[in-house]
Chains A and B, each alone.
Chain A
Amino acid sequence: MNEVCFKTLDQKDPWSLKTYEANGGYSVWRKILKGEFTPEQIIDELKTSGLRGRGGAGFPTGLKWSFMPRNADMQKYVVCNSDEGEPGTCKDRDILRYNPHSVIEGMAIGGFVMNATKGYNYIRGEFMEPFYRFEGALKEAYAEGLLGENLYDSSVSFDLYTHLGAGAYICGEETALLESLEGKKGQPRFKPPFPANVGLFGMPTTINNTESFASVPDILAKGGQWFADIGVENSGGCKLFSVTGHVNEPANFEVPMGTSFKDLLEMAGGVREGHTLKAVIPGGSSTPVLTAEAAMAMTMDYDGIEKAGSMLGAGSVIIMDDSTCMVETLTRLAHFYYDESCGQCTPCREGTGWLYRVLKRIMDGNGKADDIDLLMGVQDKIMGNTICALGDAAAMPVESFLRNFRKEFEYYIEHGKSMVKG
C-alpha cells in the first residue's frame, strides 16, 4: 500500500523537496538533464508499465504521449488536470497536498518527452490548501534550479505555472479546461481535432491527470515492468481509491490494481455498525451503480469493475448502506449534472433539466406510472449524443439506478414516499 503517489505520506513534511528527494525524488529528472534518458525510452517504459489515465477515461499514458508531434516547430504545452470535481473523488487533492513534487517532476518529464517547454497545472477553484502547497513546491523546485531555462546547462527548459479554476465541474473535461485556461468560458470543444494537434492556444498539448503525472517518476526510476507487476493484466500499477460514504473510516487508499473490493472496504473500516451494504458506485458519480452482491464479487481494476457492470473511472468508491433511499440519491445526482451542464449542446442542456425535474416530481409525490420509462427514454437520448462526456455521465447513473433498484422507484411513484425512509 501507498507505494507510489503516497509514498511520502507518513514522513515528516511529506510535501517538502527534502522529503521528496530523500525518497529518490527528481532522480529521473536529473538523469534527463544529464542526457541519460531519451524520449523514446521514456515512452517505451510507460507503455511497459501499463499506466492508464487516472482521470477516468483510462487511456494508456505512453500511447497518449507518443501522439504528440514532438518535432513540430511550434510551442507545445503540457497541462495537468487537477480540476478534481467528480462527486466522490478527493485523491488528487491529497497528492497535491502531500506529494506535490511528484506532479512537478512528472510534468517536467512530460515536457521533455513532448518537447514542450511550458506547463500549466489547472487546479480546482475550491482547492486552496493544495494550491498553496503546489505553489510552495514550485518555488522550491525553481530555487533548486529544477525548473526554468537551460536547466543545469542542458538544452532542456521547462516552466511550470499554476492556474486556479473558478469552480465549474465542466472544466475538468480536458478541452473545457483548455478553454478556461485560455480565459474563455469553460465549454468543451468538439473533437477532432484533439488537443495533441490543436490544444492550448491552438498548439499541440498533452493533458494528463494529476495522479498519472505523479506516477511517472517512480515508473521511470524503478522501471515499467516493476510498476506493471504491482497490478494485474491490463491494469498496471497501483491506484488511489477514495472510499467515502457509509464506511467507518473514509479515506484515500493507494492499493495495487486487482485488490478485491472486499479488502478495500475492510481497509475503510467496513460499513457502519448495524447496517448492511446496499450499493456501490465504484468510480465516481458518473459511473453506473452496482448492487452489494455485484460489488462484493468485484476486483478493483479496469477489467474487474467492467465485468461487474461499471467503470473504474477516477477510483471514487461511494459506499451506500441499507439506510440509503436510491430515489433521493439519484435525484441529488441528477441535480448535480443539471446544475453543472455547460449548456452548449442540446441533449445535455435540455436533457439534464428534464431528468432532474421528473425525479424531483417523483420525490414531491407527484410521480406518474410511466415516469420510469420516460426517464429511461430521456437518458438513452442523451447518451452518446453530446459533445463531451458530461451527457453520458448524467445518463449512466439514471440507467443503472433504475435498472438495479427499479422497485424503489416504483414504490415511490405509487405511494408518494420512500420505500426506505418512509
Chain B
Amino acid sequence: MADIEIEIDGNIINAKAGEMLIAVTDREGISVPRFCYHKKLSIAANCRMCLVDVEGAPKPQPACSTPISDGMKIHTQNDKAKASQKAVMEFLLINHPLDCPICDQGGECELQDVAMDHGSDVSRFTEGKRIVADSDIGALIQTDMTRCIHCTRCVRFGAEVAGIMEMGGTGRGEDMKIEPFLAEGIQSELSGNMIDVCPVGALTSKPFRYELRSWQMNAVSNVARHDLVGSNIYTQTYKGRVKRIVAKDNESVNETWISDRDRFSYEGLSHENRLLVPKIKVEGAWQEVEWNVALDFAVRGLEKNVRQADQLGALSSNTATLEEFYLLQKILRGTGSENIDHRLNVKDIDNTISLESNIKLAGLEGVDHALVIGSNLRLEQPMINHRLRKASLSGASIDVINAMAFDFNYRINSENIIAPNQTALTLASILKSVLKSAHTEVPEYLGNAEVTEIATQLANQLTDSDNSVIILGEHVINNPQALSISNLISEIAQKTNSTILNVSATANSMAAGLAHFVPGKGGLDVNAMLAANLNAYILLDIYPQYDFHHSVQAIEALSNDDTFVISLNSFKDDVVSEYSDVLLPIASFYETSGSHVNVEGKVQSFTAAVNAPSDAKPAWKVLKVLADLLELPGFHYADSMQVTSEIMHKSYKQHVHDENIDITVKRGVNVIWQKSPYAVDVLSRHAVSLQDTKIGQINSASMNKATAKKLEITQGDNYLGVPVSISESVANSCVFVNANHAIRGQS
C-alpha cells in the first residue's frame, strides 16, 4: 500500500500520499497526544494538542490535519514539537477545574493521561477559573461542563454519526459553551457514545455516577443481545456485578459505537424483580426449595404428565443464547417431541416472513440504493440504521414503504405511507413494473396489479442501481399477507439483482434458526401448541403478556389445571407464577456464557462477565442437568463451548414456504403491534434509566382521524390498553401500536 516515504523522528516510514500524519503515527505506534481527533469523526484541528514539527514549515503543524507528502521530515519529539505540546497542555489546564478526585472520568481520562506526559507540575495561572453552568440533558448523560475542553467530539458525533446535531458550541471565545441547543436535552438512540468520545469528565454516564473508579473494575468482552447486530461491548464488573457497559471496537460489527439500549440495559440486572430462588408449587402454594428438589419436582412432573411424547412443548423467548436454544430443542427431540418454537409474537406461522439475508453489515455502507419496507429502522436496529446512514451520506438513495412516517436521520428519497393491506399490492406493482421494463412475461398472479407511477419509480430505483438492498422490518411479520409480501420481495430482489436484509425478527432469533428451534416433522408451532392443550411445557424466559401475539389465549392455555409448566425465568412475573408449577431462576444477559448469531449469520461467543445473582444459574447448565435427570443421552458437556461446537457441526435447513401469492386488498383496520424500543425484552424493560428517556416513554396507539372515527375513539382514549394518539402520519385504516409496558421500580 505504501507509495511514498516519509521520515518520522529519524525513521523512514512508508505511507500513502495524502494520509493525515496522525493516521500514520497511530499505525506505526508513535505516540502523538490529541483530544479533538477521533478516527471516526471529521477533523477539527481545534485542540492543537497534536502539534509536531514539520521540517520546512515555519509553524508547528497539527498531525491530525496535515496531509503527508513524499520526503516530509517530521519530528514529534524535538524541542519545537514538545514546546508546542506543552504550551497547549498548559492552556487546556488553566481553566480546567482539576477536580480529578471527585470526577468520574478519573483514571480513564485522556486529559489526565496527556497531562502526565506533557503538563507541568505547578500552574502559573493565578486568575479566577471559568465556571460553566450545567444543563440537564437527560437520564443517561451527566454533564459537568466546567471540565469541558471544547474538543467538539460530542458535537461532531451528533452531527455526523447520530445524525442529529443535538450538542453545539454556543457563544465565543472563552465563553464558548458546549451545550444542547434544545431544552429537552439529548434524545438520540446512540447518545451514550458521547460519553465514550468525551476525553474528559464533562460527559459521563449518569446511571454510573459516583459508583466506582475504572481501575476497580474488570472489563470482560461481551456481546449485546438486544438486536440483530450483536454489538461488541465490555461489561465492566465489580464484586460480581455489572457496573457499566462501554463499546468495544469491532469494525465489521459495530465499528466503535453501541446503541443506548446495549449500553444502559445492564441496570435491569440488579432490579428487585430478579428471580433468585428455585420454587415449586405444592397444592397451589409456592415453596422455595433447593435446586435438586426443584429439578426432581420438574422431572417427576414431566414423567407424570407427559404420557405421550407429543404432549410436551418447548417455547423460548428470542433472547436465549444459541446454546440454550440448542439444548432445549435437544431435550425435546430426545424425549420424542417436535413441539418446539420461538416465534411467539407471530400471529400465523404459516403466513409469515421467511427470507434469508444475504448482505453483510459492513456491506450495507456500500449500497447505492435501499428500499426499506415496514421498519422504523433507527429505533429497531440502531447500528444497522447507522450503516445505512453512512451509505446515504455517500450518496445512496433510500426509499421507504411504511404504514407510518418515522423520523429517519438521513434523507429519504421517496417516503410512501401505505396501509398494511396495500403493501402486497404495492410490491406486486413494483414487481410488475420491473418485469415489464425487462420485457419479461408477467405471471398471472400479478394480473390485477396496476403499475402506478410510484411503483414505477420505486422499481426503476432498484433496477437502475448497481448495488441495492431491500430491507424488511418488524412491521410486516403479522401482515395478513406476510407470506405473499415475503415471496414478492424475494422475486423483486432476484429480478433487480438486489440483496435482502431481513430484520423482521430481532434479538437472537437467528440463533434459534441455527439451533433448529422450530417444529420438526409432525411438530406443532407455537399457536398450534396453545390450541392443542398440551400436558406439559418447558418455557425459557417467557413473559406471556409481552411475548405472545395471542397473549390471552397463551395465558389461558398455560393456566390449564392439567398442564404442567416448567418455567426458566430471569425475572419474577405474576402471570408466570400463576400458571407455572416450577420456577427455575436463570442467569440474564452477561451472567452466562453462550453465543449470539447476528443478521449476517456471524456467531459471536461470549463468556459470563459475572455470576448470576443468588441461586440463579445459567440456563444452559439448568437444561443440561434437566436432560441428565431425564436420562437423555448426549448431554455430557463441561462448558457451553462444547455445545457451540456441536451446533456448528450440524447444519439445518430452514423450512421453505412455497405458496401462491395473494395480492388482493383485504378490507378492515390493520393493527401493527410493536414493543417500543426500550421494552423489547425483559432486561431492557427493567432498565430504569432507559425508561426515563424520551424513547423509553414511547407508548402510543397512533392512527389518523379517519381511522379513529371508524373505531369511534378519540385522543385520550385507550386502544388495546395503550393511549391513543391521533396523527395524520399514519396510513389510512391502520393503527400503529408502540407499546411500552415497562416495569418500574428500584434497581
Contact = CB atoms under 8 A, between A and B. Distances in A.
Contacts of B174: 338, 341, 343, 349-350, 352-353
B45 A345 contact: yes
A384 interface: yes
B51 interface: yes
A381 B87 CA distance: 5
Interface in B43-93: 43-49, 51, 58-60, 62, 65, 67, 84, 87-88, 90-92
Interface in A310-345: 338-345
A190 B124 CA distance: 29
B38 to A, nearest CB: 15
Contacts of B95: 350, 353
B86 to A, nearest CB: 8
A347 B83 CA distance: 13
B543 to A, nearest CB: 49
A361 B125 CA distance: 13
Interface stretch (B165-173, B374-382, B410-418, B445-453): B165-173
Contact of A384 (B60, B92, B94): B60
B48 to A, nearest CB: 5
B175 interface: yes
Given A346-B92, A385-B88, A358 B127 contact: yes
B149 interface: yes
Contacts of B49: 346
Contacts of B175: 343
A260 interface: no
B122 to A, nearest CB: 13
Contacts, number: 97
A35 interface: no
Given A354-B127, A387-B45, A387-B46, A346 B172 contact: no
A378 to B, nearest CB: 8
A385 B48 contact: yes
A192 interface: yes
B241 interface: no
B330 interface: no
A350 B124 CA distance: 13
Contacts of A220: none
B686 to A, nearest CB: 42
Interface string A164-193: 000010100000000000000100001010
Contacts of B84: 384-385
Given A354-B125, A374-B124, A349 B87 contact: no
B173 A349 contact: yes
B173 A339 contact: yes
Contacts of A351: 91
A377 interface: yes
| Overall SS of chain A's interface | helix
B625 to A, nearest CB: 61
B127 A361 contact: yes
Contacts of A346: 46-49, 88, 91-92, 149-150
B706 interface: no
A156 to B, nearest CB: 33
A340 B90 CA distance: 21
A405 to B, nearest CB: 23
B648 interface: no
Given A192-B67, A358-B127, A385-B88, A343 B171 contact: yes
A350 B59 contact: no
Nearest to A352: B173
Contact of B172 (A343, A347, A358): A343
A406 interface: no
Contacts of A354: 91, 94, 125, 127
Contacts of B393: none
Given A350-B95, A377-B124, A385-B87, A342 B43 contact: no
Nearest to A347: B91
Quick one: which of A190, A340, A382 has the most chain B CB within 10 A? Answer: A190
B83 to A, nearest CB: 8
B438 interface: no
Please classify how large the interface on chain B is, using the bins under 10, 10 to 19, 20 to 34, 35 or more.
Answer: 35 or more
A386 interface: yes
A387 B60 CA distance: 11
B124 to A, nearest CB: 6
In this complex, the member of B46, B67, B127 whose beta carbon has the largest number of chain A beta carbons within 10 angstroms is B46
B456 to A, nearest CB: 32
A347 B48 contact: yes
Nearest to B171: A343
B176 interface: yes
A163 interface: no
A83 to B, nearest CB: 15
B48 A343 contact: no
Interface in B118-141: 124-125, 127-128
Q: Which of A338, A340, A357 has the most CB of B within 10 A?
A: A357
A175 B309 CA distance: 78
B169 A343 contact: yes
Contacts of B59: 384-385
Contacts of A352: 173-174
B62 A190 contact: yes
A385 B60 contact: yes
Contact of B90 (A343, A361, A381): A381
Contacts of B90: 381
A381 B173 contact: no
Interface in A361-399: 361, 374, 377, 380-382, 384-387
Contacts of A350: 91-92, 94-95, 174
Contacts of A341: 172-174
Interface in B10-64: 43-49, 51, 58-60, 62
Contacts of B88: 346-347, 381, 385
A352 B172 CA distance: 12
A344 B91 contact: no
Question: A345, A346, A381: which has the most chain B beta carbons within 10 Å?
Answer: A346
A168 B173 contact: no
A382 B84 CA distance: 9
A168 B174 CA distance: 15
Contacts of A345: 45-48
Nearest to A357: B127
Most buried by B among A168, A342, A349, A384: A349
A192 B171 CA distance: 26
Nearest to A391: B48
Contacts of B43: 190
Nearest to A341: B173
B49 to A, nearest CB: 7
Nearest to A392: B59
Contacts of B44: 190
Interface in B165-222: 169, 171-176
B738 to A, nearest CB: 36
Nearest to B124: A374
Contacts of B125: 354
Contacts of B94: 350, 354
A190 B91 contact: no
Contacts of A380: 87
A118 to B, nearest CB: 25
A375 to B, nearest CB: 11
Nearest to B93: A350
Contacts of A357: 127-128
A355 to B, nearest CB: 10
Given A345-B46, A385-B60, A353 B173 contact: yes
Given A170-B172, A341-B172, A387-B45, 18 more contacts: A185-B172, A342-B176, A343-B171, A343-B172, A344-B150, A345-B45, A345-B48, A346-B46, A346-B149, A349-B174, A350-B92, A353-B174, A354-B94, A354-B125, A374-B124, A382-B87, A384-B84, A385-B51
14 contacts: A338-B173, A340-B173, A341-B174, A342-B173, A342-B176, A343-B150, A346-B92, A347-B91, A349-B150, A350-B94, A353-B95, A384-B58, A386-B48, A387-B45
Which 8 interchain pairs have the tightest Cβ spacing?
A343-B176, A381-B87, A350-B91, A190-B45, A341-B173, A384-B59, A357-B127, A353-B174
